């Protein structure tokens, strides 16, 4: 089995929107190992406006059982989720709702 290491970083700025708790924050890089047998799904989420929003969605979706990686593109609202098996859409919707945003597709 071949494995790929993904390193993600995030930066948040209070100038982006009012939901940011700190003037600026930089998350430490997060290393994730992804198997070549992983399942990847792309969703669209609306309502995100800053790095804090990205972090909230990443944390909630990342807490779903089997999720190994979450990549959120703030500009497009695209959320790419890698998991060990296909995820139930209801689980992803619930996680996005819990983060305070709307799953569009």
pTM, full prediction? 0.69
Q: How confident is the model at residue 17 (pLDDT cuts 50, 70, 90)?
A: low
Q: Which residues does residue 83 pair with via DSSP β-bridges, in sequence order?
A: 39, 67
pLDDT, tens digit, for every residue of 50-78?
999 999 999 999 999 999 999 999 999 99
Going through the chain in order, the beta strands assigned E by DSSP cover: 3-8, 11-13, 24-26, 30-35, 39-46, 67-73, 78-83, 102-103
As given in the structure block, the two tokens for residue 74 are 């703030």
The domains located in the chain, with CATH, are 3-103 (3.30.70.100)
Q: Is the pLDDT of residue 38 over 60?
A: yes
Give the integer Cα–Cα distance in Å for 67 and 81.
Answer: 7
Token couple for 86: 């296909």
């Amino acid at each position: 089995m071949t494995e790929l290491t993904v390193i993600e970083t995030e930066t948040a700025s209070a100038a982006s929107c009012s939901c940011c708790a700190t003037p600026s924050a930089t998350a430490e890089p997060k290393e994730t190992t992804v198997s070549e047998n992983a399942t990847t799904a792309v969703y669209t989420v609306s309502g995100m406006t800053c790095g804090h929003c990205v972090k909230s969605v990443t944390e909630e979706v990342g807490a779903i059982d089997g999720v190994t990686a979450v990549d959120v593109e703030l500009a497009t609202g695209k959320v790419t989720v890698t998991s060990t098996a296909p995820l139930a859409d209801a689980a992803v919707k619930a996680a996005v709702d819990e983060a305070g945003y709307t799953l569009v597709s």
